[in-house]
Amino acid sequence: MSSPTSDLLDSLPVQLSQQLKEHVNQVLLEIIRSNSVSQFAQNTPVLAKFREAIAHGDSKDDVEFLRHFRALVPITSYEPYKPFVAKFFASPCKEIDVKDLFAPGLPCFLAITSATSGKEPKIFPRYQLPPPYSQRRALTIPSSERTIFAPSSLKHSKYSKALKIDCEDGQSSRNLVVCSVSTGYLRVRMNWNAEDDMDRLDLWSKPVT
């Protein structure tokens, strides 16, 4: 495939092009800085050069920070992530071991990819987006005696498994669902957690008109 004759940004008016560049850099910067304190960012060998550059430079300089990221963070395969993802499947799985693993806090769910060509599916933790970038407010399905049962509500709440995570207080635990990306994001939008799934078995919704 031949390369385009000009950069897409160059096709925009100068002012719009500059605004777009600044917006992209700002969003990227917020993501990188937030995730740079994660266990993965602090320990994976593939980011060693990036960590070293940041440690020896001015980490508060946004321009330098982004320059180091673009120059020193390589495109990676799934292999560097596998030992970190495996922590979710440890028994017991302790919150302290998986908290801030790839991003701040705990993931909303673990997304499982479809296995292709006989290969094993891959697991990717999916985290809640920050408020400025989060999707529309969570949806709710009303429950009423005069509604029609929606089989899809059961289908979309189904998942492959739920992993138990022992909380830091030593007394409680929470379940982390392993499911497809589409199912996981629907569960997030609907504000469904695994602990309450049994209560949703009789979920009803208004008929579609």
Tell me the average pLDDT of the chain: 80
Above 60 in pLDDT, residue 80? yes
Sequence-ordered strand ranges (E) for 36-108: 93-94
Give residue 202's pLDDT.
63
- Which pLDDT band holds residue 187 (cuts at 50, 70, 90)? confident
* Mean pLDDT, rounded, for 6-19: 75
**pTM of the entire structure?**
0.76
Give residue 186's pLDDT.
84
* Mean pLDDT, rounded, for 18-43: 93
194 Cβ neighbours under 8 A, 6+ residues apart = 159, 162, 175, 176, 177
**In the structure encoding, which two tokens stand for residue 52, read together?**
């070293």
Give residue 151's pLDDT.
43
